[in-house]
Chains A and B, each alone.
Chain A
């Protein structure tokens, strides 16, 4: 457990391209088959009592993983504490809901709009807020998260507290239908998005933006002395994170067919942040693990009803005490091996 990450990394390093490709394909297949694990004998212990296992797999688990990865870019990579991340999710969801009910565009056509609006919101919030540091930024983002929810609560176009009903499901892709109960199909769509985000984050991490974020996270002033344009790189981190949240929101709204402001409370922001910290700030595999566990656990133990949240909190407390850097903490020096190999 202690060196799980390093062990995994060293096995990975020693593989050649073919072995890696096979491993990745197998892993993706296994994950893609997860929706059937609940009904499959040997893995049926995964099945969630009371709530539908396949539905739980989509929300919270898959969407938490997606949002966790997005938030990880902001909090984990560049060290900007964002306590209002749910706002971007909400903006994506409301974009889907409003455009889906008022225009004839389908989910896939609205997805770019959702991402775009979330990014614009990220930019608008970031421009003033990212001049602030640490706690001040956290407070402003917290405020922003609440503002978005309260605006949605009070506007006519968002249906106020009643929300928007009749959000259309996505049209079929390659014959795969997306009805309300085709949970597996949504899971696969989100899985594809998660894979894209992982790919994107990995690209960024070893390139200039990743270096700049790393420098900003470790010492903002010194980063500026190195010639890093703080505001520009922070804005990038913020808007990319927002884009991921927005994309998640679009799919969420399109799946549930109904959204209301109380789905986008401060609670969700904190829970997603908890996923990131619990799993391992800055490490994508840690975040995925953390989000999976934190998404899954409350549903799995739903049978103990009232004590559920208590147990959940207890698990959080114990794990964070035993592993304060998260389950799979970030590797301190990510690039050495590659450099030496060159």
Chain B
């Protein structure tokens, strides 16, 4: 078991955003958390990467409780996140953004060229724009950059927060195809999505979150065919 969340509670001030969820992510899987706005998806990811404090419960990474480990050290352990809203450094170039992804690696000098090549192979668009400022990229390119930057740290687990947000349908399909590709290279992925259709097609297993609780856990393909889920999250697209 790569990553396990046990009875996690997280508070924003007095408001409890995560009310005791448990999630398991096995080695080599794509697991997706789906749910509506305010269900606690992003908070869960932020808590795993260390940006939010755990109120109670545990986050186990390779069997070790990391809930007290500061955010910047979790990167060393092998947890990388492409944050919500992409989190590109707007004033840095594409190359500098990618280099930041390796900020804390001990062997960064030796790994740099190799990993840059890997990222450019996944996202040829980025290679064309190495010296362009991150803030001037299109939404899709920024998302590519965010994922590429997260990969620069050679993660064991990649946390993706709504990679499809605000993108054109064609770009969404493209991003999801690449996510599957990354997963095939052996990176475990925890994916948070509102685009349930795409997420469920790509993921192995899924959790449905509702107001801070896990209401359903199943194989992704089962949920894709589940009438209740279809109604609530897949629909006809009109509800979006």
Contact = CB atoms under 8 A, between A and B. Distances in A.
B131 A211 contact: no
A221 B49 CA distance: 10
Contact of B71 (A212, A215, A224): A224
Contacts of B89: 214-215, 218-219, 222
Interface residues of B, number: 31
A108 B50 CA distance: 46
A211 B103 CA distance: 9
A206 to B, nearest CB: 11
B91 A227 contact: no
B203 interface: no
B51 A221 contact: yes
Given A219-B89, A332-B133, A225 B83 contact: yes
A222 B87 contact: yes
B91 A336 contact: no
A205 to B, nearest CB: 12
Interface in B169-216: none
Interface in A129-166: none
Interface in B79-107: 80-81, 83, 87, 89-93, 95-96, 99-101, 103-105
A224 B73 CA distance: 9
Interface in A158-207: none
A21 interface: no
A215 B100 contact: yes
Given A219-B89, A333-B133, A336-B131, A225 B95 contact: no
B103 A212 contact: yes
Interface size class of A (residues with CB under 8 A): 20 to 34
Contact of A228 (B51, B81, B83, B103): B103
A139 B89 CA distance: 27
Given A221-B87, A333-B91, A333-B92, A226 B100 contact: yes
Nearest to A222: B87
Contacts of A339: 93, 95, 131
A222 B49 CA distance: 10
Contacts of A222: 83, 87, 89
Given A214-B91, A225-B75, A333-B92, A340 B50 contact: no
B153 interface: yes
Given A211-B100, A227-B103, A229-B72, A218 B92 contact: yes
B131 A227 contact: no
A98 interface: no
Contacts of B70: 229
B104 A226 contact: yes
B7 interface: no
A235 to B, nearest CB: 14
A335 B87 contact: no
A218, A221, A222, A333 — which one has the most chain B CB atoms within 10 A of its CB? A222
A302 to B, nearest CB: 40
Nearest to B105: A227
B80 A225 contact: yes
A301 interface: no
Given A333-B133, A335-B96, A225 B91 contact: no
A333 B101 contact: no
A230 interface: yes
Nearest to B130: A339
A139 B235 CA distance: 50
A338 to B, nearest CB: 11
B27 interface: no
A230 B50 CA distance: 13
30 contacts: A211-B96, A211-B99, A214-B89, A214-B91, A215-B100, A215-B103, A218-B89, A218-B90, A218-B91, A221-B87, A222-B83, A222-B89, A224-B50, A225-B49, A225-B51, A225-B83, A225-B150, A226-B100, A226-B101, A226-B149, A226-B153, A227-B72, A227-B103, A228-B72, A228-B103, A228-B104, A230-B72, A332-B91, A335-B93, A336-B131
